[in-house]
Amino acid sequence: MTIVLAPMEGLLDFTLRDILTRVGGIDRCVSEFIRVSGTLLPDRVFTRIVPELLNGGRTRAGVPVRAQLMGSDAVCLAENAAKLAALGPAGVDLNFGCPAKVVNRHGGGASLLDDPELVLRIVTAVRRAVPAHMPVSAKMRLGNQCDSRAVECALAMQAGGASELVVHGRTRAQGYRPPAYWPRINDIRDAVSIPVIANGEIWTVKDAEQCRAESGCHGLMIGRGMVCDPGLALAIAKPGQAPLSWFELLPLLAEFWQLIKTHIEPQARAGRLKQWLNFLRRRYPQAEDAYAAVRTLHDPLLVAQTLFSKQA
């Protein structure tokens, strides 16, 4: 079984990828999207969003990272994909799933699923621009407003040369509201001959088992479930594995704090830590206390003194 760490704009950046892949169970990551809109991006944009490019396309734990591109201009996407490929990612991924309003207003993300012909042109152009040995994959939702063209879009991606699809089991209109429609992912899996990875509403080992049964997919992509429970991938991959305890997680939280200090402005550091603690409250009661302790704090020194006195 393949377990992929999902891209999540504004949350699952390279810092959290670094920490989560240290726990184990994750086979591959996909970066947050790199927005392509009419220009050839300089290398520094790629390496800023995907600094793993400076480490052989892998996290420090050795987990490969595919860099994700998002846009609607096939030619421009292809040109940027070629430049990106020269930096050595573990693959190039294409975003056909982002539900953000600002993205879709400008013709990106899930809005592209209304136009399977454009989807085909984009995937074809990128596949031709990227060296043959480098995987080109795509992440899609079931559709934009409805799921009536889901299979058509998946077939277009396959025809364009995508080697793998990740399918989030909801439309853009459905956002992140439960449930995820895993049986509809199975409809796509039945229609294509390339591997399909299921995504959406996987919070527990039981969810993973049910998703695999209903979607028919061997591989899973997990996002918010991993942020809430960093040991989830390992628990899925190794049945009977003891859950990651709060005391095992504490050193990783401290390391996360040290890492964000290297690239985030002081006034924003507390917010990043509180953001993760807020997710962790779903899995760990102790995170509730930690979050309450720093909720009103903004000074990085006070945050460190409150939670990480040894690192202060």
The 3-class SS string of 269-310 reads HHHHHHHHHHHHCCCCHHHHHHHHHHCCCCCHHHHHHHHCCC
Query: Which is the catalytic residue, given 29, 76, 98, 153?
Result: 98
β-bridge partners, 33: 68
Q: How far apart are the first and last CA of the chain?
A: 41
d(CA 145, CA 225): 25
Strands 92-96 and 65-70: parallel
Give the long-range contacts of residues 173-179, CB within 8 A, separation 24 or more: 173/144, 173/145, 173/146, 175/99, 176/99, 176/224
Verify whether residue 29 is a known catalytic residue.
Answer: no
**Which of the residues are catalytic?**
98
